[in-house]
Chains A and B, each alone.
Chain A
Amino acid sequence: MSVTIEQAVDDTTTRMNMIQAINSAMDVTMARDPAIVVMGEDVGYFGGVFRATAGLQKKYGKTRVFDTPITECGIIGVAVGMGAYGLRPVPEIQFADYIYPALDQLVSEAARLRYRSGGEFTAPLTVRSPFGGGIFGGQTHSQSPEGIFTHVSGVKTVIPSTPYDAKGLLIAAIEDNDPVIFFEPKRIYNGPFNGHWDRPAENWSKHPGGEVPTGYYKIPLGKANVVRAGEAVTMLAYGTMVHVCAQVVADTGVDAEIVDLRTLVPLDIETIEASVKKTGRCMIVHEATRTSGFGAELAALVQERCFYHLEAPVERVTGFDTPYPHSLEWAYFPGPVRIGQALKKILKD
Chain B
Amino acid sequence: MPPLSLHVPEPKFRPGDAVDFADVPIPPAGAARRPDTADAARDFTDLAYTMVRVLDEHDQAVGAWNPRLSPDTLRRMLRHMATVRAFDERMFRAQRQGKTSFYMKSLGEEAVAVAAAHALDAEDMCFPSYRQQGLLIARGCPMVDMMNQIYSNTGDKLQGKQLPIMYSEKRFGFFSISGNLTTQYPQAVGWAMASASKGDTRIAATWCGEGSTAEGDFHSALTFATVYRAPVIFNVVNNQWAISSFSGFAGAEATTFAARAVGYGIAGLRVDGNDALAVYAATAWAAERARTNAGPTLIEHFTYRTEGHSTSDDPTQYRSAGEPTAWPLGDPIRRLKDHLVAIGEWDEARQADMDREVAEEVKAAQKEAEKNGVLGHGLRQPLDSLFDGVFEEMPWHLREQRQMMIDEETASGRPWDRK
Contacts and interface: CB of A to CB of B under 8 A. Distances in A.
Interface stretch (A78-86, A238-246, A322-330): A78-86
Contacts of B159: 118
B176 A116 contact: yes
B25 interface: no
B220 A71 contact: yes
B273 interface: no
Nearest to B396: A269
A4 to B, nearest CB: 18
A71 B219 contact: yes
A273 B105 CA distance: 53
Given A37-B197, A86-B194, A117 B176 contact: yes
A156 B198 CA distance: 28
Given A74-B186, A87-B194, A108 B180 contact: yes
Interface residues of A, number: 48
B193 to A, nearest CB: 7
Given A69-B224, A73-B216, A101-B216, A81 B186 contact: yes
B371 interface: no
B65 interface: no
Contacts of B12: none
A120 B176 contact: yes
A205 interface: no
Interface string B170-185: 1000011011100101
A79 B204 CA distance: 15
Nearest to A107: B180
B390 A153 contact: yes
A154 B187 contact: no
A77 B176 contact: no
Nearest to B160: A118
A76 B190 CA distance: 9
A178 interface: yes
Given A82-B191, A84-B175, A101-B216, A154 B391 contact: yes
Nearest to B149: A118
Contact of A77 (B162, B190, B390, B391): B190
A101 B197 CA distance: 26
Interface in A64-123: 64, 68-69, 71, 73-74, 76-87, 89, 101, 104-105, 108-109, 112-122
B194 to A, nearest CB: 4
Interface in A104-146: 104-105, 108-109, 112-122
Nearest to A115: B389
B127 interface: yes
Interface residues of B, number: 46
A203 interface: no
B390 A154 contact: yes
A252 interface: no
B187 A115 contact: no
B187 A81 contact: yes
A78 B196 CA distance: 13
A276 to B, nearest CB: 16
A118 B195 contact: no
B18 interface: no
A46 to B, nearest CB: 16
B414 interface: no
Interface string B190-228: 111111011000001000000000001101110110010
Contact of A74 (B180, B220, B392): B220
Nearest to A109: B183
A116 B220 contact: no
B392 A267 contact: no
A313 interface: no
A114 B392 contact: yes
B85 to A, nearest CB: 27
A78 B187 contact: yes
B395 interface: yes
A81 B220 contact: no
A55 interface: no
Given A77-B217, A154-B390, A108 B224 contact: no
Given A77-B221, A120-B168, 7 more contacts: A78-B224, A80-B190, A85-B125, A105-B186, A117-B168, A119-B389, A120-B176
Interface of B: 125, 127, 157-159, 161-162, 166, 168-170, 175-176, 178-180, 183, 185-195, 197-198, 204, 216-217, 219-221, 223-224, 227, 389-392, 395-397
21 contacts: A73-B220, A74-B217, A77-B186, A78-B187, A79-B190, A82-B190, A84-B190, A84-B191, A85-B198, A87-B194, A101-B216, A105-B186, A105-B217, A114-B389, A115-B161, A115-B389, A120-B168, A121-B168, A121-B175, A265-B395, A269-B397
9 closest Cβ pairs, A-B complex: A81-B190, A77-B186, A74-B220, A78-B190, A266-B395, A81-B187, A85-B194, A117-B176, A117-B168
